[in-house]
Structure 1
Amino acid sequence: MGERKGTNKYYPPDYDPKVGGLNKFLGTHALRERARKIDKGIIIIRFEMPYNIWCDECKNHIGMGVRYNAEKTKVGMYYTTPVYEFKMKCHLCDNHFVIRADPANLDYIIISGARRQENRWDPTQNGQVVPETKEVQKRLFDDKMYKLEHGTEDKNTMESAKPRLVKLFNRNEDNWSDNYTANQKLRAQFRKQNYESKIREKKWDANLRKIGLDIPLLEERDEDKHTASLLAMRPIKSSEENLSNKRKEIISQSSLPTTNFSKKKEENAVKLLKGPKLDLGIIKKKNTVLATSDNIPEQCGKQGNEINSNLESDICDHEENDYPENVKRKKGNEEILQSSLVGDYGSTSSESE
């Protein structure tokens, strides 16, 4: 709007038309403040950011489309097209960044003060129509055979894309052939979504009031449920329960190191200790086998190479029976009577004649 200030209908009484225009008579420029650096070849324009950038100083993101008052300067020529450079100040800090036009590639180049956010892709990979490059255009103009091959490839691409385009066209026609029905379906879907969102918001508001928070809640997901189950507090046992479990573990453990301690022996020992009166009587052992150095069975796991001189025979139990009352062992022609308190937890280490 600044250029209209010089083209008004008011002319002062001392105006001389021989001077030229009203701006020359007043000694001003049509662009006013935008032309304050016109003697340096700089004018102030409104520049719009062509893509997303990052400021080098404040590290903030500046989105595409943000407008600045930029100093426009001509820095060169690309054939007959002038190349301009734009300098502007970041609105979040005191940093200045310079952007230059690139007419050769139809793009802009960041000279200093910022860096481009790289989110570019190859348009040929998603089916976009890409204009021909300068090299392809030159080759099409010079090479007739290449032009023929290029045209054949374009026709093949068009033929391969025809079924997909026809399918999309038919789908669009089917969906929007009856505008009233399509509009009715969309409105019904929107009403359902609106109703569900209102119920969800009421539930969230109730939960927020319950826990006293004032933050927006997100939708519940299965991953959140799994994480919450992992972080849930497990019930803690009381000291009496821990003491009782500890006593049961101590009672169930064997008092002697053994390798053939079975579950049945453990249960019988626990029953005996929990009884009202400990029975310390003589326990008889059944199914004993006379074992000497001459007839040691192979099932005992010993090959007869190492035999204790004090103990000429070991007993190998082939059946797990109840605890016997008496244990008899023959040594030569004599019988030895041994007694056991709870049960046979292994081989007896002491013998009495």
Structure 2
Amino acid sequence: MGERKGQNHYYPPDYDPKVGGLNKFMGTHALRERARKLHEGILIIRFEMPYNIWCDGCKNHIGMGVRYNAEKTKIGMYYTTPVYQFRMKCHLCDNHIEIKTDPGNLDYVIVSGARRQENRWDPTENGQIVPETKETQKRMFDDAMFKLEHKTGDAETAKQDKPRLGKLVGRNESVWKDDYEANCSLKGISGKEERN
């Protein structure tokens, strides 16, 4: 079916190929309704919410990944990277939400209509591995003594965490040894009853 996609166009009898493509002849844009505000510099796109927010209009939570038809506008440049702003209407009320890209911080910034749900934490507080900063990476590359000290610290941390990781792996293997039994216990039924 896909191989016929390019041939599935209706060409009216008065079509003249010298005019250009079929869209040009018909006086329409290739993007149809999405390009209705293109003369204003606005393109309608499908935008997915990059993080959890609270709507200022209805005070409801809007989860990450919720999709909207948004008006995309180029509002400036960050060096050679364009900065875009997206305007969309909340699906729960009449409030409009505006979000723009922030290429300098590799993030999105809410301009108006909502506020970001703050649930950030320090990864070092709960024992997560934190990637090194650029300064630390540069110093490790340049300073051999600093690199040696850093590796020694990592080895000590690994030695301290090894027994705990061993217990977790052992527990995981014992619980999930028979995945059918584990699945039945999660569903709340006895595996022996179902097998018979």
Does TM-score exceed 0.5, indicating one fold?
yes
CA distance in 2: counterparts of 1:62 and 1:115, whole angstroms: 10
Q: 1:83 — aligned with what?
A: 83
TM-aligned CA distance change 1:83 to 1:157, over 3 Å: farther
Work out whether 1:95 is the aligned partner of 2:95.
yes
State the TM-score, normalizing by the size of structure 2: 0.75
Pair 1:126–1:81, CA change in 2 (3 A): farther
SS at match of 2:99: strand
Q: Is 1:6–1:23's contact at 8 Å kept on the other side of the alignment?
A: no
Partner SS for 2:166? helix
Which is worse superposed, 164-173 or 52-61? Answer: 52-61
Q: How does 1:286-325 map to 2 (within 5 A)?
A: none
Unpaired segments ≥5 residues, structure 1 = 193-353
Greater radius of gyration (CA): 1
Give the number of aligned pairs.
Answer: 186
- How far apart are the structure 2 equivalents of 1:136 and 1:79? 26
Structural RMSD (CA):
3.1
What residue number does 2:14 align with? 14
Residue equivalent to 1:42: 42
For the residue of structure 2 that corresponds to 1:46, the secondary structure is: strand
Change over 3 Å in CA distance of 1:53–1:183 after alignment to 2: closer
Change (3 A) 1:129 1:43: farther
Structure-2 change in CA distance of 1:167 and 1:110 (3 Å): same
The aligned counterpart of 1:175 is 175
Alignment of 1:127 with 2:127, yes or no, is yes
Q: 1:82 to 1:146 in 2, by over 3 A?
A: farther
Which structure is richer in relative contact order (CA contacts within 8 A, separation 6 or more)? 2
The answer as to 2:38 corresponding to 1:51 is no
Segments of structure 2 that go 5 or more residues without pairing to the other structure are: 191-196
- Per residue, is there more strand in 1 or in 2? 2
The reply to whether residue 61 of structure 1 matches residue 49 of structure 2 is no
**1:135: how far off?**
4.6
Compute the displacement of 1:71 (Å).
Answer: 0.8
The alpha carbon displacement at 1:17 in A equals: 2.4
Identify if the C-alpha distance between structure 1 residues 86 and 163 changes in structure 2 by more than 3 Å, giving closer, same or farther. same
Name the SS for the 1:174 alignment partner. helix
User: Match of 2:193?
Assistant: none
Q: Determine if contact 1:54/1:114 at 8 Å carries over to the other structure.
A: yes
- Post-superposition CA distance 1:322-342 (Å, at most 9, x none): xxxxxxxxxxxxxxxxxxxxx
TM-score after normalising by structure 1: 0.45
Tell me the residue number matched to 1:73: 73
Match of 1:190 in 2: 188
State how far apart, in whole Å, the 2-side matches of 1:25 and 1:160 are.
73
Task: State whether residues 6 and 30 of structure 1, in contact with CA within 8 Å, keep that contact through their aligned partners in structure 2.
Answer: no
